[in-house]
Structure formats: structure tokens, C-alpha cells
Chains A and B, each alone.
Chain A
Amino acid sequence: MSGTFLGTPAFPDAAREALEDSQLRRNLAHATGTIRTKRAGVVGEVDEWEQLRLAGEAIKNRVLRHLPDYLEQLERSLTAAGATVHWARDATEANAIVVDIARRHATDEVVKVKSMATQEIELNDALEAAGIHAWETDLAELIVQLGDDLPSHILVPAIHRNRAEIREIFLREMGNAGRAAPDDLTDEPRQLAAAARAHLREKFLRAKVAVSGANFAVAETGTLTVVESEGNGRMCLTLPEVLVSVVGIEKVLPTFQDLDVMLQLLPRSSTGERMNPYTSTWTGVTPGDGPQEVHVVLLDNGRTDVLADPTGRQALRCIRCSACLNVCPVYERTGGHAYGSVYPGPIGAILTPQLRGVGSDPQTDSLPYASSLCGACFEVCPVRIDIPEVLVHLRGEVVEAHQEAARLPSVQDMAMKAASWTLSSAGRTGAAEKAAGLGGKLAAKLGRSAPGGRAVLGALPGPASAWSDSRDIPIPAEESFRSWWKRTDGGRSRTEETAGDRSRTDDTAGDRSRTDDTVGDSSRTDDTSGGRDEA
């Protein structure tokens, strides 16, 4: 019933397809642009925003430092409040726990609150396999589910769809899943929302079991929190008899007071609102009010591996606000599906490879490279995750994993080695530049001039085509800066001659040889390695 990310090609290939979809490009540019502007507005009005971010970072760091303690405290608090706590090492264990609870209540359906953790473990598929329908009740998740589609955004999983497409999906699919959409449905947002409301209402009233995630879980009190905009989550959290919440172990917060910081950071970063319309909190079972059987499944699924990496672990601070997606210039153009994971965009590029482990499949290994390292994500992240730093770190892990696995170095390995060797000595660098300058002199004859007179080359075949298909290439300067400096004594020599006249060059530079000698000292090693051929 739902699609799968399995088999998504590596990012550059998946992105290429997405980039050709003009409708997708328009939908994304419009949606991310709107939400970016909203966020900037409401963040700009908080004077102490930077202090809030620092506080959010500090709270989450404290949690990660003492994770086992806070988790045990959470378990004690939850149990005391009448909830049942389950521990799940991975997706299979977590899914089995939820399926088992649903079966014990002899139901063939559950209603779901929007949740990333259950998407991550593919709970809907596990339930379906056990003959249990999982009904998504978040409007955007409903659109994705009815369209047999995949989520492409953390907050707005159907961000890649516009309202005309949504109308079509509702008309075509709603009837198969329950109450059909009215025949005269238009693509007016009001009408679409009304159709979804009527469709979902009968499910809320009928379902015995609800499944949710949680934005936060307070260790001190055993209080779980769900933050949402539509109120459909509130329906799921209050109407059914049984509530199962699947919660990643990093969602724990030490005290109730910490919600103060988090609930200021999250809505402004996420939907660009000062406060979200619905914030539900519940602490175990309240007799006579709401679900009378409450389960909490604490999910690891790779998180302790992430925690073990000192640089990578900051990804566990993530509160899934999706601000990093909305500002990411790569995400804006490729959309979420290209990342091949329920976690797309910048956070997906650092979290997915860590949860899955690098070095095993090319799709996962392509994710840390799916970024220009522009840093816009770090700038907006409410818990200050230095995403570019983790990306670079993970690129290192990918390279290392491949070098360990392969017996022969790759072309890229050799190119990097060669570049490292050349560029670790001024002598070798100068020699390479002279060769390039000579090549440039020849190439200049084939090229043309860019505005300003710079000689450039146009489209080239072979490996250079990745660059030159759409971009002209500047031709290496005939004389490098280094040679110019030496020849003209850093421009001080009054008898500068044309760049081609090399013999006089070195003479005039003679009185500066003192500097060059000291340079010679540091590059004596270079002489022995035979690379120094300057002068």
C-alpha cells in the first residue's frame, strides 16, 4: 500500500530525475520560499533567539551525556503513572510490539498521529502484513498514503504536491479507504480540508487503538508531548481506548521546565508560527479521561551507534523542525525523494548514513556529498547542529570505509594522493603550475574570451564534461602568482618585463634571494623527493 525508498538510486541520479520535473520544482520553490519567509519573520521578533538556541543545544547535550540515566528515570515515571514501557532495539522489535498490542485488542485498524519514528521503522507495512490497517490522520500524511506515495518532507510530507494534484488523489482514492470525497470537490483548500475531515471523522470515532510518536518525553514526570497544527492528533490521543507511542530514545528531556525552551524553538522554526495550534501532553493513564491503556515503546534502531560518534552524535539533538530542509538550496531543487529516506534534506544527509551505517550501499554513501556545504542549515537549526561539520566528517568515514573494503585504490583515491603529494611542497606546486600555464597558453588559442577579456574554454568531452557542459572553464594563467612574485620581487622590481622572458626574471629576483633561501630550507625535504625543479 505504501511505497518504499528501497531501490532509490544514488543521490546524483535521483536528483537528476527530480530536477527535470518542472511541476515539482515549482511546487517546492513556492512552498519552501513561503515557509522560509514566515520563519524568518517570527524568529526575527525574538530578541533572545540566539540564547534560546544555545539553551536548546545545552539541554539536548545534557540529555545525550546522561542518556541511560534519563531513560531509566523516564521508565520509572511512566510506570508510576500507569503506562507500560517497552524497549525496542530495532525496527523489527518495535513493530512486533505494536502489532502484538493491536492483536490483543482484536482490532483490524489503528489511527495514527503523524510520527517520524513510525515512518522510520515502516510500521504501517508491518501492521498491514498482520492484517491491520493503519490510517494516517495528518492531512499531509493522508495525501501521501492515499496517493501510494512517499513522504518528501519531515513536516509537510506532501510538499511536493499542489492542490490540483491533491484534489485528484482525494477523488480517486478516498472511496477505497473509507468515506469518499464529494463528486463536486474543487481544489479550494477549504473544500479539500472539509473532505479530509469528513473522511477521517468516522475513523476517529471507530478506532480502538491509536499509534503516535512524541516530540518530547519528560523524564522527571513521564509526560509525553505531541505538537501539531490540525487537531487530528488530539483526536487520536484522546478518543481511542488504547494509545501506543513509539519514541526514539533521544526524545527524552530532563525536566518539565525544559519544555519551556523547546516549545519556543520548535513552532517558530517549524511552521513559522509563534505557537502551534495544538500541544497535547499526557502522563500515563488518567482514570476516566482519555486512553485507559497507555504504552510507550522506546526505540533505539541505530541511535546508540550515532551516540558513540563524538562528531556525529550532535545529529541526535534534532527536534525534527525541518527548518534545515526549508532553507537548503539543494533540497529546494531536488525535493525529498532524492534522499531515499524518510529523513530528507540536510538532517537526512547526516542522520540516515549514521543510522544505516556507511560503506555498504552507494545510495547511503552518496548522501553526505549531497550538499554544497553552504551552511544555511546550521544557521537556522534551533539546536545548533553543525550539519556541514558532520557532513565533512561523514565524507571522511565514507572514504575510509571504501579504502578498507577495496584492495585497490579508486581513481579518486589516487587523484587525491597525487594532489596531496604535489600540493604539500611549493616546489612541486610551482612545477605543476608551470605545466598548467604552458597548457593554458596552448588552450588559449582554442578558447574565446569571457567579458573582461579572460580566455576561457567551452564544452569539453570526457571527464571535464561534468563541469564544462554548462560552464566555461578559465584557462590557467601563463605565469602563476608565485612565479610573478619571484620574477618581480613581489612587484617591487622596476624593470618588469613581459611574462614570457624567464631568464631575466630570475636575475632581477636575485636581490630577494634571501627570502627564497629561507624557503629553500623548509623545502629541503622536497629536494630529496626529487620534486623541486624551480629556478
Chain B
Amino acid sequence: MPRVGLMVTCLNDALFPDTGKAVVTLLRRLGVDVEFPAAQTCCGQPMVNTGYLADAVPLVRNHLEAFDGCDAIIVPSGSCAGSVRHQHGLVAERSGDPGLVRGVENAPPAYELTEYLVDVLGVTDVGAYFPHRVTYHPTCHSLRMLGVGDRPARLLRAVRGLTLLDLPGAAECCGFGGTFAVKNAETSIAMGNDKAHHVRTTGAEVLVAGDNSCLTHIGGLLSRQRSGVRVMHLAEILASTERVVERRDERSADPISIGSATPQNQEAHR
């Protein structure tokens, strides 16, 4: 049995634990007994993208130690998967430590969630049910750095009850860009407003993406605009089933549990 490690990402860990739980639910449903190596923290992307490559070195080291022994790493974030695949080498190279360079070269492969589902497990119908109108934003790092292509759309189209609406200008950046969002806040917001505008023209109830960082930005604008559109991570939609949806309706008044789509939770509440 291959050992598969979930890299939940620091953002999801602290802000969006429901996304992590959804990945666990989804993978177990598909027969993958995913582990959570508890020594994991953050991939170092915030440091790297701000120019603090030296400060990212301990984080790259920690990543290698945490996932040592895994055969594959699953990441519910295009940009963090991209960071592990494309930036860790850069950090190691600049650190001048040949051991670290070797470590990065021999690290287990990091898959963005949809890559793992479609390429490794070979599934597009994950048995999900989500009776809503949604539109999908292909985040830049998923689309261009990793090249996930139409995998997310194929997964979404196979979800029962779901209507997938085309997002105009979908491939264009939402303007998040990590520290760009605060260092160049006005430009970031100008980009985000155009994205939010496109989302609203689709008439979707839910904006879905594979990266909670971008969704925090677009969702922050949509919610400030009182648009009535909610944002959800792709994993949470793929984890949804008929039973979970019922439960969400029952508990819609509880803000913290929204999106926590684990059947285990459901059992516990009976």
C-alpha cells in the first residue's frame, strides 16, 4: 500500500480546515487512506515570493523531513503544489547546500488534488452530489505553473446535480498574488473587481476554485459587495454527497461547520 501524505497547507490548516477535512473524506471514499504527517507547516511560498529566499530554507527542510517516507504528496492548492515543485529547487540552489538540493530532487512527488484524482486514481466521477449552479475560476498557478488543464472541469461536470457555468475571462489572474495583494493593493483590487464582476455575470450561486488563497481575495470582494455569491474550494464540492447536503441545510446557522462535509461528522451528530 503506497503511503500518501496530505499536505494541507498552512492557510487551510489555520483558516480553512474544512477543505482539509473534505480532502480526507473524498480520498477515503475513493479508497485512499491518506496520512497527515503532523510535522508539516508551510511550503515557504510567502517568503520566496517576497524575496526572502534564505528565510524559506528552514521551511523547505521541514517539508522534506515531514514528508520523508511518503510515496506521494497531495496538495489541495495549485500554488502550494507549484511552490513545492518549482520553488523548492530555487531555494535549495540559492542556499548553497548540496544536501538540500539532493533532498529536493529526491522528495516525493507533489500532486495538486485534481492531478492526483484524474492522473493517479484515474477517476473523474468521484460520486459527488451538489445540486447548485457553480462557476469555476482556474487559478493561475494551477492553470499555468502546473498545467492542470481541464481536469477540474471534468471532475465538476461529473458531479450529480451540478450546473457548471462558463466564467468570462476565466484564465485571467484574480489579482491575489500573495504579498502583491497588499504591496500593490489598488492594482490587486482593480483586477479582483473585474474578476468578481465576471463571476456575478454568470449568475452562479457558488464560485469554486482549487486554491483558497485566491478565493479569500475574490470572496472578500464578493462578500463586501454583498453579492450573495459564496466561494468554495473544489474539494468541498467533490466531497459532498446527498447525505451531507441534507446535513448542511440542517446546520446552516452554525458558521464554523459550514463545508465540513465528512460523513464521520455526520455520524457523530446523530
- Which residue of B is nearest A13, CB measured? B186
Q: Quick one: which of A395, A454, A491 contacts B265, CB cutoff 8 A?
A: A491
B183 at the binding interface (Cβ < 8 Å): yes
Q: Quick one: which of A417, A478, A481, A497 contacts B256, CB cutoff 8 A?
A: A478
Give chain B residues whose Cβ lies under 8 Å from the Cβ of A398.
Answer: 51
Could you give, for residues 462-499 of chain A, a 1 whenever the CB lies within 8 Å of some chain B CB and a 0 otherwise? 00001111111110111111101110101111111101
Q: Which of A371-422 contact B (CB under 8 A)?
A: 371-376, 378-379, 388-389, 392-399, 412-413, 416-417, 419-421
A282 at the binding interface (Cβ < 8 Å): no
Instruction: Give CA–CA (A453, B232) in the complex, Å.
Output: 12
Contact check, A19 vs B255: say whether CB atoms are below 8 A apart: no
Q: Quick one: which of B184, B231, B254 contacts A453, CB cutoff 8 A?
A: B254
Known: A399-B52, A424-B41. A329 touches B36 (CB 8 A): no
Contact check, A455 vs B255: say whether CB atoms are below 8 A apart: yes
B162 at the binding interface (Cβ < 8 Å): no
Give chain B residues whose Cβ lies under 8 Å from the Cβ of A313.
Answer: none
Could you give, for residues 445-465 of chain A, a 1 whenever the CB lies within 8 Å of some chain B CB and a 0 otherwise? 000011111111010000000
Contact check, A392 vs B256: say whether CB atoms are below 8 A apart: no
Give chain A residues whose Cβ lies under 8 Å from the Cβ of B252.
Answer: 453
Q: Quick one: which of A395, A429, A458 contacts B51, CB cutoff 8 A?
A: A395
Give chain A residues whose Cβ lies under 8 Å from the Cβ of B206.
Answer: 452
Give chain B residues whose Cβ lies under 8 Å from the Cβ of A468.
Answer: 220
Contact check, A444 vs B255: say whether CB atoms are below 8 A apart: yes
B192 at the binding interface (Cβ < 8 Å): yes
7 shortest interchain CB distances as A-B pairs: A372-B177, A471-B220, A395-B51, A374-B173, A452-B230, A424-B58, A451-B230
Instruction: Give CA–CA (A476, B18) in the complex, Å.
Output: 12
Known: A420-B52, A471-B220, A485-B36. A496 touches B177 (CB 8 A): no
Contact check, A396 vs B224: say whether CB atoms are below 8 A apart: no
- Which residue of B is nearest A402, CB measured? B51
Instruction: Give CA–CA (A379, B264) in the complex, Å.
Output: 43
Q: Quick one: which of A11, A374, A496 contacts B144, CB cutoff 8 A?
A: A374
A330 at the binding interface (Cβ < 8 Å): yes
Q: Quick one: which of B47, B172, B189, B219 contacts A450, CB cutoff 8 A?
A: B219
A305 at the binding interface (Cβ < 8 Å): no
Give chain B residues whose Cβ lies under 8 Å from the Cβ of A436.
Answer: 14
**Chain B contact residues, majority secondary structure:** helix
What is the interface residue range for chain B against chain A?
Answer: 35 or more
Instruction: Give CA–CA (A506, B38) in the complex, Å.
Output: 15
What is the interface of chain A, defined by CB distance below 8 A to chain B?
A: 11-12, 15-16, 19, 329-330, 333-334, 368-376, 378-379, 388-389, 392-399, 412-413, 416-417, 419-421, 423-426, 429, 432-433, 436-437, 444, 449-456, 458, 466-474, 476-482, 484-486, 488, 490-497, 499, 515-516, 519, 522-523
Contact check, B59 vs A423: say whether CB atoms are below 8 A apart: yes
* 11 A-B pairs in the complex with CB atoms less than 8 angstroms apart: A374-B144, A392-B51, A398-B51, A399-B50, A417-B55, A458-B224, A474-B15, A486-B38, A493-B264, A494-B267, A495-B268
- Which residue of A is nearest B187, CB measured? A15
Q: Which of B17-58 contact A (CB under 8 A)?
A: 17-18, 20-21, 24-25, 35-42, 44, 46-53, 55-56, 58
B123 at the binding interface (Cβ < 8 Å): no
Contact check, A369 vs B180: say whether CB atoms are below 8 A apart: yes
Besides A429-B13, A467-B220, 15 other A-B contacts (C-beta < 8 A): A329-B191, A368-B51, A369-B183, A372-B175, A450-B222, A452-B232, A453-B254, A470-B185, A470-B193, A470-B224, A474-B15, A477-B18, A485-B36, A491-B262, A496-B265
Give the segment of B60-68, B96-104, B114-122 that binds chain A: B60-68
B137 at the binding interface (Cβ < 8 Å): no
Q: Nearest-CB distance from A434 to chain B (Å)?
A: 10
Q: Nearest-CB distance from B135 to chain A (Å)?
A: 14
Known: A395-B51, A522-B65. A452 touches B17 (CB 8 A): no
Instruction: Give CA–CA (A133, B171) in the complex, Å.
Output: 46
